[in-house]
């Protein structure tokens, strides 16, 4: 058992605790309070996700872990769930954007474009910097929050952050 999971279980054994809102919730899920009120923690969504990016979070409630891969927006997690805790899949699945941390190699003057290479939405650009190494910049209107850029970053400095 990981230290994170162990801590989570111990918190819950004490009882009465509200699960911590994760950095990344499931796509199309209702607000965290409503989600945890309806989710039975059955694990069906974990098994339904072809990318295997859904894991048990605080209290066993499912969360997204982009270090394992990206969301393809297949909708299987929503379809697998018997509870009324997701909204219409015709709508945008979430409002979250990639963010590049200070450990970024390019910000440290080392050439790297791993994030741009994997972004199918072309949401990451590198503007030329005369006399310096270009740094990643996000085009927010294009970023889908899919998380594809997270795992390939060699220094794990990309986070996909909720904008709500
Ligand atoms: S939409 Fe598909 S890929 Fe994304 S979390 Fe749900 S099951 Fe996984
Ligand atoms: S992959 Fe990571 S280190 Fe490389 S440019 Fe993108 S944010 Fe920086
Ligand atoms: S989260 Fe997805 S769309 Fe946004 S920058 Fe990363 S790879 Fe591109």
Domains of the chain: 3-80 (3.30.70), 96-162 (3.30.70.20)
For 86, phi and psi rounded to 5 degrees?
A: -130, 150
List binding-site positions: 39, 42, 45, 49, 71, 74, 77, 81, 143, 146, 149, 153
Cβ contact 65:24 at 8 Å: yes
Give the number of the atom of ligand 1 that is nearest the alpha carbon of residue 76: 7
pLDDT of the chain, 164 residues: tens digit per residue: 444 544 555 455 445 676 889 999 999 999 999 999 999 999 999 999 999 999 999 999 999 999 999 999 999 999 999 999 999 999 999 999 999 999 999 999 999 999 999 999 999 999 898 989 999 999 999 999 999 999 999 999 999 999 97
Cβ contact 96:155 at 8 Å: no
Question: By alpha-carbon position, which residue is closest to atom 4 of ligand 2?
Answer: 112
* Interatomic CA distance for residues 134 and 157, integer angstroms: 16
For residue 76, report the distance from its CA to the centre of ligand 1, in Å: 6
Cβ contact 142:122 at 8 Å: yes
Q: Which residues contact 16 (CB under 8 A, 6 or more apart)?
A: none
């Amino acid at each position: 058992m990981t230290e994170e999971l162990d801590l989570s279980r111990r918190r819950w054994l004490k009882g009465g605790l509200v699960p911590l809102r994760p950095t990344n919730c499931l796509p199309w899920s209702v607000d965290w309070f409503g989600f945890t009120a309806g989710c039975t923690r059955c694990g069906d969504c974990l098994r339904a996700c072809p990318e295997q990016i859904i894991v048990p979070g605080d209290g066993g409630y499912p969360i997204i872990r982009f270090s394992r891969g990206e969301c393809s927006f297949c909708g299987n997690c929503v379809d697998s769930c018997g509870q009324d805790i997701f909204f219409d899949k015709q709508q945008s699945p979430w409002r979250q954007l990639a963010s590049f941390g200070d450990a970024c190699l390019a910000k440290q003057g080392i050439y790297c474009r791993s994030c741009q290479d994997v972004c199918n939405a072309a949401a990451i650009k590198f503007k030329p910097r005369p006399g310096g190494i270009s740094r990643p910049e996000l085009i927010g209107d294009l970023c889908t929050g899919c998380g594809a850029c997270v795992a390939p970053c060699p220094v794990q400095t990309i986070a996909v952050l909720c904008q709500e």
